[in-house]
Amino acid sequence: MNKAAERTNGVLHQDLGLVSYQQVWDYQMVLNKKLIARKRAQGTSPDFNPLHYLLTCEHKPVYTLGKSGHIDNLLLNEDQLKHSEFEFFKINRGGDITYHGPGQLVVYPIFDLEYFFRDVHKYVRTLEEVVIRTLQEYNIEATRQPDFTGVWILDDNGPSRKICAIGVHLSRWVTLHGLAFNINSNLAHFNNIVPCGIATEDKTVTSLEKELGRKVDMNEVKFKIKSHFASLFEYNYV
């Protein structure tokens, strides 16, 4: 048993429903700063376990561009964007451009990784594993792609299909942002961008609905995601 399991980290899950991107970004920052302020005041004593947070939500239609992204990967000009239903934000996560909208499950872990493991690469791989294990419950074999973050479904007879995008940011080992898992997403909305900056014919996007050929209950997926998070990160829900 590792030190994180011995400490029995407590995580509060909050489902925020369908909300604007700005609203959740602001809330993430409040929780992130709260954990950092606690650390500055009390250190990382094993005798004190801070409360960590797992936020789930769906966003109103929005495109977000990561700090290493290129604005050219947004295929709408300023006027088209202004007269569309989409918002647009430049943000501080890693990665390029992506889409969030109704039917997509977005998960934001606000964890102090010093109470789990101090390894950014392992953190991203574990987020991917959460989704890979969830897809296994739907009899879908998913995997990682060399040189690309996220979760993919490979096809020998067609393009690789990305079903989950991941982008994170850490400050003093406290996490922000997270994963976006296409469940019943409107995939046509990805046509306005070069998703994650990947402009190749052998890669595309997909959703759980498309792979299964039916609508999927969002609450059912949330339950599975929550369970795999708790198992892989070895914590209990408050």
The whole-number average pLDDT for the span 177-200 is 86
The reported pTM is: 0.92
Report the chain's mean pLDDT, rounded to a whole number: 91
And the tokens for 84?
């569309």
Which residue, among 71, 174, 66, 158, has the nearest Cα to 114 in the 3D structure?
Answer: 174
pLDDT band at 8 (very low <50, low <70, confident <90, very high): low
Instruction: Supply the range of the domain harboring residue 113.
Output: 3-237
pLDDT in tens, 122-157: 999 999 999 999 999 999 999 998 888 999 998 878
CA geometry: angle 188, 189, 193, nearest 5 deg: 115
The whole-number average pLDDT for the span 28-40 is 94
pLDDT band at 13 (very low <50, low <70, confident <90, very high): very high
Is position 196 annotated as part of the catalytic site? Answer: yes
pLDDT in tens, 202-230: 789 999 999 999 999 999 999 999 999 99
Residue 200 confidence (pLDDT): 59
User: Which segments of the chain does DSSP mark as H helices, in order?
Assistant: 3-7, 21-42, 78-82, 120-136, 208-212, 218-233
Residue 46 confidence (pLDDT): 67
Active-site hit among 163, 166, 196, 198: 196
Residue 5 confidence (pLDDT): 42
Residue 2 confidence (pLDDT): 45
CATH of the domain at 14: 3.30.930.10
Which is more confident, 12 or 78?
12
| 3 state SS of 74 | strand
Residue 175 confidence (pLDDT): 97
pLDDT band at 49 (very low <50, low <70, confident <90, very high): confident
Residue 3 confidence (pLDDT): 46
Count of domains for the chain: 1
- What amino acid occupies position 112? D
- What amino acid occupies position 191? N
The CB density around residue 160, as the number of other CB atoms within 10 Å, is 17
| 4 has a pLDDT exceeding 60 | no
Strand extents, DSSP E, the chain? 10-19, 51-59, 62-65, 87-90, 97-100, 104-110, 143-145, 148-153, 160-171, 174-182, 203-205, 236-237
pLDDT band at 95 (very low <50, low <70, confident <90, very high): confident
| 26 has a pLDDT exceeding 50 | yes
